[in-house]
A and B are shown apart, each in its own frame.
Chain A
Amino acid sequence: MNRLAAFAMALLMTVATALQAAEPVSISPAGRKAMSPEMAVAPDGTIYVIWLERTPEGEAIAAQGAASKEGHTHHAEADIWLVRSTDGGSTFSAPLRVNTQSGEVWGFPISKPRIAVSPAGVVHIFHPGNATEPRSGKPIVLPMITRSRDGGRSFEAARVLGAVPDSDHSHLVTGLANAECFGTMTLDERGGVYTYWIDTRDMSKEQPNGKVFSAVSYDDGATFGRDVEVLPADTCPCCQLTATTQAGRIYLGSRQVSPDGERDSTVAVSTDRGRSFAPRTRWGGARWKIDACPLKATALVVDGDLLYAASFNGGATPPGAWLSRSLDGGRTFEPAQPLHAAAPVSDAPVLAVVGGTLVAAWHAKTDGAERHVFVSVSRDRGQTFSAPAQVPAASGSGIYPVLAARNGGVQLAWQQGDTIVTRFLALDDLLFGAPVTRTP
């Protein structure tokens, strides 16, 4: 009887632990408006999560902008907050403000900060920052980077990576003399820190698209080379860039505007540590012709010889989050398949690979009410996927998930209402059910 009771108690504790582990942990303070999480896992397993918050000072700046000649400055002031966990996500540190000066960060969720950790454990955060063009006195946005060499306990003052151009595009960029934002960052195993951003410095009224500029460090962020143009002025200026590296190759995701007005998701590949890129490859099948601000990034992840890409495609049937894979390093892509064909809205996909298993997360709306975060896995290298499963969460809208592979599963973080939450998902989690073959 005692043994039975002990067994029952152990079983109850196991179930309780599993249920507790399944509950997302809130990591941003209650009562504040946190948005746009990003996440990285260090080689030692430390989990870092950052997010954006608009500052009261930023709101004052917005009011000043309202009273300005332009009636708008696009000059949003925000802070980046960081928490870290050294116990596998059970507990997190108190939030640390990353930026030295309050309101230093250009704070729109559509151009969110990026975080990555180098093999040496250096934490890099790349973000758009507020500045002033010295000649005109007009606001500009510049790409900035900061790093921590003590495990996220403190950060260096931000360094500016982009040049301040002479041109004034405030008539095109609504109050900003120039904008260098919507950026991304990726690291390699040799100390390479590769940053990319969309730049309006040569924008024209006839061609209101952006160029992609880059600044690279080969010494884990100690020094950076000067910024250089890597893609011409045909990049959708409001679709944030993405990048990943593997085996000496850099993959850069962007949305290219064709002469006919299609804004298609593309991948460019560099094989010389970022010094040059091959022409972009469009993927996804259906073209998407639209003169608008789609605000849609391209998720990328590499698994050996496979490159996966996922993004929203408004030209596809159904419109929503689609995924494709390339078997030849990004030169060509297979026909794309929808991640959540039954959902009227599916968007913001992100990808991770864990030991050959592909994990996808996105937000979707299935009941006509609020958006929720969904996940799915492919255990056969992207050919079939488990049925989309909604990640349980508190009430409210769950949006903009991010993923990081760790410890045989994925750490998932997202914005739940005005709070940033996170949880671990093991690959044997019940959410990842039986595979379902989809019809492309």
Chain B
Amino acid sequence: MSRVIATARAALVVAALLLAPGVGAQVPEVQRVSPAEFSATLAGLRGKVVMLNVWATWCGPCLKEVPDLLAVEAELRADGLVLLGLAVDDAADAAQVVSFRQRYFPAFRTLQRDESASDALVSVVDTAWNEIVPTTYLIGRDGRVLRRIQGKLTREEFSKAAREALRAGT
């Protein structure tokens, strides 16, 4: 039953992600997800190249790179790139993630963790995650992780990595 609910919720998230046409448009609410819901959300994005950004409101380098990631997504969205955040702030700070996103990065489509451990969530894509933020994953159209990037890169470097991921999936 919980799996059905997770799948249904994930389908709503995916629909919102795919329908939102880009900068300036209505961006879906920040959704709190369990590992199962996160997994289902990613499954719903098969066919797209997903740039998954693991971030936190307390992480300075994370906050510096989000505008660059948004710019790369705007540049490559028509080619099939989807930027998706996963905030790993403490569950007690859930409201802060929502308001923080709204204030600083209103165009940033992001999920946030529920009561689950952040390691359990990120392990959906990377069982060897070492709790470093930011970590950005480029996930191919078939759902496989093509590249893990830890730490902030330049906009050009992110763009190059995203283009390589898009080429790898065609």
Please report A residues at the B interface, Cβ cutoff 8 Å: 54, 58-59, 62-63, 65-68, 70-74, 76, 108, 172, 174, 208, 237-238, 289-295, 312, 314, 319-320, 344-345, 347, 365, 368-371, 397
**B152 surroundings in chain A (CB, below 8 A):** 291-292
Contact of A292 among B93, B100, B103, B133 (CB under 8 A): B133
Complex Cα–Cα for A99 and B136 (A): 39
B residues in contact with A71, CB < 8 Å: 96, 99-100, 102-104
Chain B residue contacts of A76, Cβ below 8 A: 90, 92-93
Given the complex of chains A and B, what is the CA–CA distance between A368 and B122 in angstroms?
12
Contact mask for chain B residues 31-56; partner A; CB cutoff 8 A; 1 contact, 0 none: 00000000000000000000000001
In this complex, the interface size class of chain B, counting residues with CB under 8 Å from chain A, is 35 or more
Can you list 18 residue pairs at the A/B interface with Cβ under 8 Å?
A: A65-B93, A66-B95, A66-B96, A70-B103, A71-B99, A71-B100, A73-B96, A76-B93, A108-B58, A174-B58, A174-B63, A290-B132, A292-B59, A292-B134, A292-B150, A293-B61, A345-B129, A369-B123
| A66 surroundings in chain B (CB, below 8 A) | 95-96, 98-100
Query: How far, in angstroms, from A66 to B134 measured CA to CA in the complex?
Result: 22
- With A and B bound together, what is the CA distance between A294 and B59 in angstroms? 10
Complex-state Cα separation, A76 to B90, whole angstroms:
10
Q: Is the CB of A347 within 8 A of B95?
A: no
Task: Check B2 for interface membership: any CB of A closer than 8 A.
Answer: no
Contacting residues, chain B, for A72 (C-beta < 8 A):
57-58, 93, 96, 99-100
Q: Find the residue from A172, A208, A292 having the highest chain B CB count within 10 A.
A: A292
The verdict on B127 contacting chain A, using a C-beta distance below 8 Å, is yes
Q: How many A-B residue pairs have CB under 8 A?
A: 105
Contacts A70-B103, A292-B151, A314-B150 given; does A365 touch B128 at CB 8 Å: yes
Residues of chain B touching chain A, judged by Cβ–Cβ distance below 8 Å, are 56-63, 90, 92-93, 95-96, 98-100, 102-104, 117, 119-120, 123, 127-135, 150-152
| In contact, A62 and B92 (Cβ under 8 angstroms) | yes
Dominant secondary structure at the A interface: loop
Complex CA distance for A291 and B99, rounded to whole angstroms: 25
For B133, the chain A residues whose CB sits under 8 A away are: 292-293
Whether A295 lies near B131 (C-beta < 8 A) is: yes
- Contact partner of A368 (CB less than 8 A), chosen from B95, B96, B102, B127, is B127
9 additional contacts (CB under 8 A) given A62-B92, A292-B152, A347-B131: A66-B100, A67-B99, A71-B102, A74-B58, A108-B90, A174-B57, A291-B61, A314-B130, A397-B120
Across the A-B interface, give the 6 residue pairs with the lowest CB-CB distance, nearest first. Answer: A66-B95, A290-B151, A71-B103, A344-B128, A292-B151, A368-B127
Q: A71-B102, A292-B61, A294-B132 are in contact. Are A397 and B96 (CB under 8 A)?
A: no
A397 and B92 in contact, given A70-B103, A291-B151, A292-B59 (Cβ under 8 angstroms):
no
Inter-chain contacts of B151 with A (CB < 8 A): 289-292
**Set B60, B102, B120: member contacting A293, Cβ < 8 A:** B60
Cβ of A322 to closest chain B Cβ, rounded Å: 13
Q: Which chain A residues lie closer than 8 Å to B132 at the CB level? A: 290, 292-295, 314
Task: For the complex, give the distance between the alpha carbons of A59 and B59 in Å.
Answer: 20
Complex CA–CA separation, A293 to B61 (angstroms): 7
Known: A71-B102, A347-B130. A62 touches B61 (CB 8 A): no
Residues of B contacting A295 with CB < 8 Å? 131-132
Which residues of chain B are within 8 angstroms of A344 by Cβ–Cβ distance? 127-128
B127 surroundings in chain A (CB, below 8 A): 344-345, 365, 368-369
Is B119's CB under 8 angstroms from A62's CB? no
Inter-chain CA distance A295–B134, complex, in Å, is: 11
Residue of B nearest to A63 (CB): B95
A237 / chain B contacts, CB cutoff of 8 Å: 60
| A397 engages B99 (CB within 8 Å) | no
Min Cβ gap A170→B in Å is 13
CB-defined contacts of A371 to chain B, threshold 8 Å: 119
Q: Taking CB as reference atom, which chain B residue is nearest A176?
A: B58
Q: State A312–B127 Cα separation when bound (angstroms).
A: 17
Q: How far is the CB of A365 from chain B (nearest CB, A)?
A: 7
A295 CA to B135 CA, complexed, in Å: 13
Complex formed: what's the CA distance from A67 to B135 in Å? 28
Asked if A62 meets B93 with Cβ closer than 8 Å, knowing A71-B104, A74-B58, A290-B150, the reply is yes
A66 to B129, CA, bound (A): 28
**Which residues does chain A contribute within 8 Å of B131, judged by CB atoms?**
295, 347
List the B side residues contacting A365 at CB < 8 Å: 127-128
CA distance A344 to B132 in the complex (A): 14
A243 to B76, CA, bound (A): 48
Shortest CB–CB separation between residue B84 and chain A, in angstroms?
19
